[in-house]
């Protein structure tokens, strides 16, 4: 059985004070949480403070991005060594906002994947198609190509530790969610691609999250789909009450 993983990607939001207040409340409200993983992704500036609050609790945390070299003359970048140093468990890689706004290529994302896995972090690899690609019937081709290129030279053991987030670009921040059936179909396609690149055993271990306008009112129906193992939540993860409702979708 794959453990459900509900994650909050805060993007470029929250001061250190707000981030600490949020996780303190999460720790208190979720101390009885069922057998699942709950992960928050604060901005870099709040990571260390959040790490100190969630240590030895059932709330996990991660970084929204990182560079692929361990150290050196890369002004403004944060390395996997630095993240591992403060106990980061997860790192989001290849988010569409980084691909589209910051020009990250599939090759750069692949280098980042290898670096994160070398440092024993679990990457959440984001893949997703644009609206025009879906309308032209090219959604599966786009996802397939992203997976093949982003996962190049990743071993079976490393793949088993990787989480994939399917985030169709037209559903991010738009209030438009993919229908549970369409999302499930794409998740099944992603799992099939992992079977062809690896094998059935590995594919059965990889968790696939859905992301794109996930809210307290649609999480239940999304999680009821057999291929949906979790959610990567943006806007609705910024408010504790709403994120707790999402994390408690089973109750």
| CA pair distance 166, 149, nearest whole angstrom | 16
CB under 6 A: which stretch of 65-73, 150-158, 212-220, 241-249 binds ligand 13P?
A: 212-220
172 touches ligand 13P by CB under 6 A: yes
- As annotated, the active-site residues are 95, 167
Tokens of 202: 């590995």
Q: What are phi and psi of 153, to 5 degrees?
A: 65, 20
Q: What is the Cα–Cα distance from 62 to 42, expressed in whole angstroms?
A: 7
| DSSP for 201-230, written as a single string | HHHHH-EEEEESS--TTTHHHHHTSTT--E
> Would you give the binding string for ligand 13P spanning residues 84-123, x where CB under 6 A is met?
-----------x----------------------------
Residue 223 touching ligand 13P (CB under 6 A): no
**Are the CB atoms for 84 and 91 separated by under 8 Å?**
no
- The answer to whether 173 is a known ligand-binding residue is yes
* 233 near ligand 13P (CB under 6 A): yes
H-helix or E-strand containing 240? helix 240-247
Alpha helix segments (H runs only) across the chain: 16-29, 44-54, 80-85, 96-100, 106-118, 131-135, 139-150, 156-160, 180-197, 200-205, 219-223, 240-247
- Minimum distance between the CB of residue 233 and ligand 13P, rounded to whole angstroms? 5
Interface pick for ligand 13P out of 213, 219, 222, 246 (rule CB under 6 A) = 213
Rounded least distance, CB 2 to ligand 13P, Å:
20
Tell me if 146 contacts ligand 13P by CB under 6 A. Answer: no
- The reply to whether 192 sits in an annotated binding site is no
Q: Which of 194, 203, 232, 240 binds ligand 13P (CB under 6 A)?
A: 232
Q: Which residues bind ligand 13P (CB under 6 A)?
A: 9, 95, 167, 172-173, 211-214, 232-236
């Amino acid at each position: 059985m794959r453990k459900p993983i509900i994650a909050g990607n805060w993007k470029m939001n929250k001061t250190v004070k707000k981030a600490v207040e949020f996780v303190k409340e999460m720790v208190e409200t979720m101390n009885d949480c069922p057998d699942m993983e709950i992960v928050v992704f604060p901005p870099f500036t709040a990571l260390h403070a959040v790490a100190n609050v969630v240590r030895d609790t059932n709330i996990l945390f991660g970084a929204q991005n990182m560079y692929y070299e361990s150290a050196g003359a890369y002004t403004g970048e944060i390395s996997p060594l630095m993240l591992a140093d403060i106990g980061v468990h997860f790192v989001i890689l290849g988010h569409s906002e980084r691909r589209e706004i910051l020009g990250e290529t599939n090759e750069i994302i692949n280098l980042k994947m290898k670096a994160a896995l070398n440092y024993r972090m679990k990457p959440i690899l984001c893949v997703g198609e644009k609206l025009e690609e879906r309308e032209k019937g090219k959604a599966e081709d786009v996802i397939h190509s992203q997976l093949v290129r982003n996962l190049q030279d990743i071993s079976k053991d490393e793949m088993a530790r990787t989480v994939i987030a399917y985030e169709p670009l037209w559903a991010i921040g738009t209030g438009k969610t993919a229908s549970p059936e369409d999302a499930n179909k794409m998740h099944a396609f992603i799992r099939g691609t992992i079977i062809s690149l690896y094998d059935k055993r590995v594919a059965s271990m990889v968790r696939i999250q859905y992301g794109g306008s996930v809210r307290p009112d649609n999480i239940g129906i999304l999680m009821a789909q057999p291929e949906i193992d979790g959610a990567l939540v943006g806007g609705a993860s910024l408010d504790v009450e709403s994120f707790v409702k999402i994390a408690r979708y089973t109750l």
